[in-house]
Structure 1
Amino acid sequence: MPPGRRGKRAKKAPMERAGSSIDALPDGVLQHILGFLPARDAVRTCVLAQRWRDLWMFATGLRIICNDGDNMEDLREFVDHLLLTRGIAPLETGELRFDGISDVFSDSDRLRVNLWFRHAIRCQVRVLRLLFVHHKEQFDLHDLHLVSRHLMEVELAGVEVKESFLNLSDCPALEQLVVDHCDLSHVKKILSKSLKRLSITACDFSESFRTHIHTPSLVSLLLDDYWFNTPVLESMPSLVDASIRIVDKNVDSCGNCDSGDCNNCHGIIHGNHNCILLEGLSKAKNLALIAESKTFIFKMDLKWCPTFSKLKTLLLSDYWCVALDLDAITCILKNSPLLEKLTFELFSKGSDHKMKMKGSYVPVQETVAISEHLKIVEVKCDVVDGKVYKVLKLLSTFNIRLVYMSSPLIA
């Protein structure tokens, strides 16, 4: 065979092999791949070849994505036809995402989106997302009483939950709930016996009562940058990682006092010795308590400081220690028998010059008994000012000595 002809065949063979390998993929694999595409793109694959004509109907993912500027009338027609055509074929992932278009939603549109959300449940979806991003108003989500033995993860963003009782107990496989920029002011209780991971960020709670969170199987908790009344955390015996961050000054702040003893402190029952936050967090192994404003809820909880029987790492910010006359440090150190690492973050807002001091605890007979396992103590700050000096002085009473590390601090 002439060299030129052999060369042409050598270049063509890889393309033939590539085509053969794609054709060899089973339908299930192709349907899984299509599930990662936006629904419109997945439907467009029907023109590729005869084999692709119906594959999109059984894609394992259904992603309805509408961006600002998209035609809502076209979207309604497309999604209604899409759901009617595919029926209730099983779904792994269902996502409804609307970016910046809530101001053009009519009442019928809201009802339709609620029905689309329900349809995904009928398709035995495992991961379900309803996301409204960059909206002026939150979307009204009606009847969030979900019933599914398949649902494992739920994510909500930009949604107003109308129910007073967010009961997820009829979803026995549900393990993860993510709630971001949502209105939970109507919700009096969040209940799930199966939930393992809960994240609530930038949400509104009620101004007139406290939401109770009953999730006894929870392993991971993030409660970050919320507004108004701090929720009551009920028993979480399996908790491993927890982070609480309070940013807004309106959280649990009546403006008249910082003790929580006045009648304006909604949801507080006088004589009730139960903590709002700390009792539910008492079984955590890793705990971060971060606050950027002074709220009376801290002092109230510390009056009944529980024993942190499993706590190994603890991070405290400015208002959890200095702003509380150091009560938090003393209380938690005495009640954390297994603590191994303690970190303080005492930064000023806007400061980019940071330093770190590092030390350890050496038990001696004369000092107040704290965890003999405490090996690492860190103080991160801008400069050693009055508030930092108070912390260092208190730590010295526990026989904790610190030395300066390199500056600026490298995270």
Structure 2
Amino acid sequence: MNPTKLNIGSKDVINTLPEALIHHILSFLPTREAASTSLLSRKWRYLFAFVPNLDFDDPLRMRADSLYNQEKTELHRTFIDFVDRVLGLQGKFPVNGFSLRCGNGVDDVVVTRWILKALELGVTDLDLRIALDCYDPLFPPQVLASKSLVRLRIGARNGTAYGVGSGLTIDVDKHVSLPKLKTLYIDSVMIGNQTDTCLDKLLSGCHVLEELTLIGLLWFHWESCSLSVPTLKRLTLCVDDHHEWPKSVTFDAPALVYFEYSDTVALKYPKVNLDSLVEASLRLKVGYDMVGDATNLLLGISNVQILYLSASTLEVLTFCCKAIPIFNNLTRLTIESNTEVGWESLPNLLNNCPNLKTLVFKGLQHKATDSCGNVCRCKAWENVPNCLSSSPVKALKIKLKFGGKFDSELEQIKHFLESMPHLEKLTIYYDDASTDDSPVKVSEELHELPSVASPKCKIQVISNTISLSFTVPSSSSMKWIAPLL
């Protein structure tokens, strides 16, 4: 196409665009960068203030400690004046998204004023990552009565330089009504007076909530916790303080499809209703006195199709689970391993996954114990039924972490190949920059196996430099699939 027909060389090309289109383009920029366009011409002087999304990021949020007090005061004043100016220019022009990231030095009264202005403009997506001086300031109760909010994020992480506390307390004693809220993300924020019913009060006012993320909860105030949301589809619950845990945790979310849970195992799980669950990730830890009981929790997620278990969760299955349920629907299982935790629970777990198709190991190194059975070679087992010989797994993926124990991990891989009769593909991943053992050496070791349980199994060794593919046993040479960048 001829550039002259588009008048690309004309100084008025951009100015001829419709204002609605200019607003849309500017909405993809941080508000401070969008504001710099006001220097382009008289027409552009105030256009940045009418974009549908406002994004304010305190310049001191990441580097306050490297400045003198006078410099901090001046930068905070500049930031506050800038936000006030933009919101003042906004008038009654509606706002879809309002994002605010700020730290100590911005007065909580000023922050409250900005939040209330965003609510006045009908904000639908409110993202607040705030770190104030203490936990005294209450979160504006008007937020919890918004008729427009669809997404609400409250927290202090993702780059703040002021610690994990946000300095905010959500007051749930007042009326909570968020009729349109679908996504709620709370990170390191005090919820009410931290009594057993405060979380339930908050969630009961979210009638169409579909995604809930709770990070940094503190259990030392709570005897029990109940998460009952019939509309919920995704739940992430991560508790940082593993020294305390509630006596009772209830999960009642029949529409939930994704569940991520990180905590010390509770004393009991009286009700776990997750009938629609598709994918779950568990990072549980054993309490100091090991009195927790995860039996009902495991039973409640036993219909899951995709499951991720951390190494510490394997320990929970060993010491805090009376019986591992049957996972009839499970097709993909990922196991994380480390040298501090044994595989005692792994034989029973694999035996109770009759339809498992893909098994993934993140590392193979584990603590050698007397209860691993023939799932590994850390002990010389005799007359012990090998759970691998009846395994339905077709795809085995292993992400190696050699760490100086290449031989033991390689022996474990050989054991899998010699024991799993339905295996169709074994894929081994590792970073050859972190070890002296090249992928060629790994491949040669496996290529020389005299026999395997599944002769048609294809093996692929992938590093950050090359990829090799072959079958065992085979007289043919290894095939170089492709160099990796």
Matched, 1:209 2:223: yes
Q: How far off is 1:203 after superposition?
A: 4.2
Q: Within 5 Å, give how 1:39-50 maps onto structure 2.
A: 39-50=31-42
Deviations 1:234-280 (A, max 9, x none): 3111111111123xxxx579xxxxxx4xxxxxxx8xxxx714xxx15
**Residue type of the partner of 2:187?**
D
What are the ranges of 5 or more consecutive residues in structure 2 without an aligned counterpart?
61-71, 157-165, 377-383, 392-414, 418-425, 432-461, 463-485
What are the ranges of 5 or more consecutive residues in structure 1 without an aligned counterpart?
1-9, 254-259, 261-267, 351-356, 362-367
User: Conserved in 1, the CA contact under 8 Å of 2:265 and 2:294?
Assistant: no
SS at match of 1:306: helix
Q: How far off is 1:31 after superposition?
A: 1.5
Matched, 1:226 2:240: yes
- Which is worse superposed, 110-119 or 374-383? 374-383
1:142 corresponds to which of 127, 139, 151:
139
User: CA–CA distance in 2 between the matches of 1:292 and 1:395?
Assistant: 29
Q: Residue 154 of structure 1 aligns with which residue?
A: 152
Q: Within 5 Å, give how 1:2-401 maps onto structure 2.
A: 16=8, 19=11, 21-68=13-60, 69=72, 71-98=75-102, 101-102=103-104, 104-105=105-106, 109-132=107-130, 140-144=137-141, 145-158=143-156, 159-163=166-170, 165=172, 170-184=177-191, 186-187=193-194, 188-189=198-199, 190-191=202-203, 192-227=206-241, 228-229=244-245, 232-246=249-263, 251=264, 260=267, 274-275=270-271, 279-281=272-274, 283-291=276-284, 294=287, 299-302=292-295, 306-308=299-301, 310-325=303-318, 328=321, 330-332=323-325, 334=326, 336-348=327-339, 370=352, 372-383=354-365, 385-387=367-369, 390=372, 392=375, 396=386, 400-401=390-391
Q: How far off is 1:408 after superposition?
A: 6.8
User: CA–CA distance in 1 between the matches of 2:338 and 2:152?
Assistant: 35
Q: How far off is 1:67 after superposition?
A: 1.8
User: Conserved in 1, the CA contact under 8 Å of 2:213 and 2:235?
Assistant: yes
User: CA–CA distance in 2 between the matches of 1:388 and 1:127?
Assistant: 54
Q: How far off is 1:93 after superposition?
A: 0.9
Q: RMSD of aligned C-alpha atoms? A: 4.1
Q: How far off is 1:25 after superposition?
A: 2.1
User: Conserved in 2, the CA contact under 8 Å of 1:92 and 1:125?
Assistant: yes
Deviations 1:30-52 (A, max 9, x none): 12233334444434433422322
SS at match of 1:290: strand
Q: How many residues in Structure 1 have an aligned counterpart in Structure 2?
A: 355
SS at match of 1:221: strand
User: Conserved in 2, the CA contact under 8 Å of 1:318 and 1:345?
Assistant: yes
Structure 1 residues 238 and 13, CA gap change in structure 2 (3 angstroms): same
Q: How far off is 1:181 after superposition?
A: 3.4
User: Conserved in 1, the CA contact under 8 Å of 2:150 and 2:182?
Assistant: yes
Q: Residue 5 of structure 1 aligns with which residue?
A: none
Structure 1 residues 111 and 200, CA gap change in structure 2 (3 angstroms): same
User: Conserved in 2, the CA contact under 8 Å of 1:200 and 1:222?
Assistant: yes
User: Conserved in 1, the CA contact under 8 Å of 2:284 and 2:313?
Assistant: yes
Structure 1 residues 148 and 47, CA gap change in structure 2 (3 angstroms): same
Structure 1 residues 343 and 65, CA gap change in structure 2 (3 angstroms): closer
SS at match of 1:146: helix
User: CA–CA distance in 2 between the matches of 1:149 and 1:223?
Assistant: 26
User: CA–CA distance in 1 between the matches of 2:85 and 2:55?
Assistant: 15
